[in-house]
Amino acid sequence: MEIGVVGLGRMGANMARRMARGGARVFAYDRDPEARRALAGEANVDCVEGLAALAAQLGGERVILTMLPAGAPTEDALAELLPLLSAGDTLVDGGNAFYKDSMARALEMSQRGLRYIDAGVSGGVHGLANGYCLMLGGTPKSVERFEPFARLLAPAPDTGWLHCGPSGAGHFAKMIHNGIEYGMMQAFAEGFALLAARKDLEFDLGRLAETWRHGSVVRSWLLDLCADILREDEDLERIAPVVADSGEGRWTALESVELGHGADGALLQPGQVRLREETARHDAREIRRTRDDPDMIVVVMGVSGSGKTTIGKLLAERLAVPFLDADEFHPPVNVDKMAAGTPLNDEDRKPWLATLNEMLRQRQNAVLACSALKESYRNMLSKGISDCRFVHLRGSIELIGERLKERQHRYMPASLLESQFATLEQPVNALAVDIALPPELCVEQIAASLH
């Protein structure tokens, strides 16, 4: 029984150790050599020098667990890893990803013949000794493939792990789990602050917290941690009133707003414990989504070489929404055809466009870079989406031809440019942008028009 683990931070490294100590053979990789060296002496763990080596070491239908921060670190690793995988392999994403991204990623993986599990993982630095709580989303077959490893990671083989539901369910459950956790932390913080404020009552906060641990309805592991800290430092002068934010607290509050239920945005209110903005890709974009911000899909369209990816990424950053590159979702048969210099026909594009439409309907807010040359293609992309805006990047064939000479696209040769111009049906209701302008000015023009 063997598994690959990518990402050897505190969680990833200890999960690799726990599985290895349970009898699994683990092939582990982290781009930081120090992280690899820290595992070098662990029995049943082989640290490798790269993702290609990791994929080569694993046999049969491979299982690979990624324990990386959501956003760029995960996406960069997957961009390198996916070409190394084969149909039937299983990828388990143990990072704190936004659940809608996980649903879209599962769809992308299925197009490649791969299995995908979104895994919410809780347990922190104590998981090595005590086991991890695992919340798994995916198909029954995918979870069945991962089950032997889940049983090793969990506190006991039959407890502490659950197949929560289809793709997205695992990361959604973890999102709500962390929202609850932050709410509990806030409650403890405010409670102890009120106790500390009554100097006249002479509370010993450490002893009171220890007393609550036994028989009280508020007893919990979080209270255990509070009691340990208060026993050493009742004034909490060394403890910053901040908890690192990987996104879930904000996403939980925003989900309650979208569903019209429950939390009513309370997690976004300032208090004794504040969420610190870190590197999670969705923090900025999600916190800006409120009741007054309408859902909108923006499709940046045009022929190859018009700057769709560059301008699309800048626009997504400006709007604080996710960016998708349609080229990344072509099935292998389409990629091979284009790489050979053969234009795609309508039948080639239909399943690709259907996949993109499904992803956009799941996300509700995104910028998509896509050629969208025909009106029928644009209709397929926008089907079922209440507000889908098209931005047409326009330029002469001479200008775009010169740009294509300066770049090397992995499967779109410059020879196909004329066929793209011949196929292009000018959109009637799109915002037209002159690509002779610098990309930053194009984005300012687009953003002003959208608002």
HEC per residue, the chain: CEEEEECCCHHHHHHHHHHHHCCCEEEEECCCHHHHHHCCCCCCEEECCCHHHHHHHCCCCCEEEECCCCCHHHHHHHHHHHHHCCCCCEEEECCCCCHHHHHHHHHHHHHCCCEEEEEEEECHHHHHHHCCEEEEECCHHHHHHHHHHHHHHCCECCECEEEEECCCHHHHHHHHHHHHHHHHHHHHHHHHHHHHHCHHHCCCHHHHHHHHCCCCCCCCHHHHHHHHHHHHCCCCCCCCCEEEECCHHHHHHHHHHHHCCCCCCHHHCCCCCEEEECCCCCHHHHHCCCCCCCCCEEEEECCCCCCHHHHHHHHHHHHCCCEEEHHHHCCHHHHHHHHCCCCCCHHHHHHHHHHHHHHHHHHCCEEEECCCCCHHHHHHHHCCCCCEEEEEEECCHHHHHHHHHCCCCCCCCHHHHHHHHHHCCCCCCCEEEECCCCHHHHHHHHHHHHC
Annotated catalytic residue, options 75, 108, 144, 181 = 181
The model's pTM is 0.59
Q: Is the residue at 367 inside a domain?
A: yes
Residue 244 sits in a domain of what CATH number?
Answer: 1.10.1040.10
Residue-level pLDDT at 139? 93
Tell whether the model's pLDDT for residue 210 goes beyond 90: yes
Same domain for 39 and 136, yes or no, is yes
pLDDT digits (tens, 9 = 90+) for 170-191: 999 999 998 898 889 889 988 9
Cβ-based neighbour number of residue 57 at 10 Å: 15
Q: Is the residue at 292 inside a domain?
A: no
Residue-level pLDDT at 53? 95
The bridge status of strand 133-137 relative to strand 115-122 is: antiparallel
Tell whether the model's pLDDT for residue 413 goes beyond 80: no
The predicted model gives 340-349 an average pLDDT of 85
Same domain for 160 and 215, yes or no, is no
Same domain for 360 and 303, yes or no, is yes
Residue-level pLDDT at 441? 86
Of the candidate ranges 112-116, 131-135, 157-161, 232-236, the one whose mean pLDDT is the lowest: 232-236
pLDDT digits (tens, 9 = 90+) for 433-443: 988 888 888 89
Residues facing 245 on adjacent strands: 277
The residue with greater pLDDT, 413 or 306, is 306
Catalytic annotation on 181?
A: yes
Same domain for 29 and 92, yes or no, is yes
Q: Is the residue at 339 inside a domain?
A: yes
State how far the Cα of 260 lies from the Cα of 294, in Å rounded to an integer: 15
Tell whether the model's pLDDT for residue 46 goes beyond 70: yes
Of the candidate ranges 83-92, 137-146, 276-285, 394-403, the one whose mean pLDDT is the lowest: 276-285
Q: What is the mean pLDDT of the chain?
A: 85
Q: Is the residue at 15 inside a domain?
A: yes
Q: Which of 167, 184, 207 is the last residue of a domain?
A: 167
Residue 440 is which amino acid?
A: E
Tell whether the model's pLDDT for residue 274 goes beyond 70: no
For residue 184, CA distances in Å to 101, 231, 390, 443 come to: 27, 20, 44, 42
State how far the Cα of 429 lies from the Cα of 57, in Å rounded to an integer: 52
Per-residue pLDDT band at 335 (split at 50, 70, 90): confident
Same domain for 282 and 301, yes or no, is no
Residue 17 sits in a domain of what CATH number?
Answer: 3.40.50.720
Structural domains of the chain, count: 3
Tell whether the model's pLDDT for residue 272 goes beyond 70: no
Tell whether the model's pLDDT for residue 271 goes beyond 60: no
Per-residue pLDDT band at 448 (split at 50, 70, 90): confident
Per-residue pLDDT band at 61 (split at 50, 70, 90): very high
Kindly state the tokens that stand for 78: 């997957």
The predicted model gives 56-83 an average pLDDT of 92
Same domain for 280 and 324, yes or no, is no
Same domain for 66 and 184, yes or no, is no
Per-residue pLDDT band at 404 (split at 50, 70, 90): confident
176's CB contacts (< 8 A; 6+ apart) are 248, 252, 255
Tell whether the model's pLDDT for residue 293 goes beyond 70: no
User: Considering Cα of 144, then 160, then 154, then 230, what sign does the dihedral take?
Assistant: positive
Same domain for 359 and 446, yes or no, is yes
Residue-level pLDDT at 243? 63
Reference 390, options 406, 408, 377, 403; nearest CA is: 377
Same domain for 248 and 313, yes or no, is no
Range of the domain at 213: 175-287
Residue-level pLDDT at 8? 94
Catalytic annotation on 350?
A: no
Percent of the chain with pLDDT over 70: 86
Per-residue pLDDT band at 290 (split at 50, 70, 90): very low
Q: Is the residue at 74 inside a domain?
A: yes
Same domain for 61 and 155, yes or no, is yes
State how far the Cα of 187 lies from the Cα of 184, in Å rounded to an integer: 5
Residue 411 sits in a domain of what CATH number?
Answer: 3.40.50.300
Annotated catalytic residue, options 108, 174, 255, 286 = 174
User: Considering Cα of 137, then 104, then 268, then 229, what sign does the dihedral take?
Assistant: positive
Same domain for 155 and 24, yes or no, is yes
Same domain for 50 and 148, yes or no, is yes
Q: Is the residue at 179 inside a domain?
A: yes
Query: How many residues are there in the chain?
Result: 451
Q: Is the residue at 401 inside a domain?
A: yes
pLDDT digits (tens, 9 = 90+) for 220-229: 989 998 898 8
Q: Which of 138, 167, 196 is the last residue of a domain?
A: 167
Q: Which of 137, 167, 197 is the last residue of a domain?
A: 167
Tell whether the model's pLDDT for residue 291 goes beyond 50: no
Q: Is the residue at 108 inside a domain?
A: yes
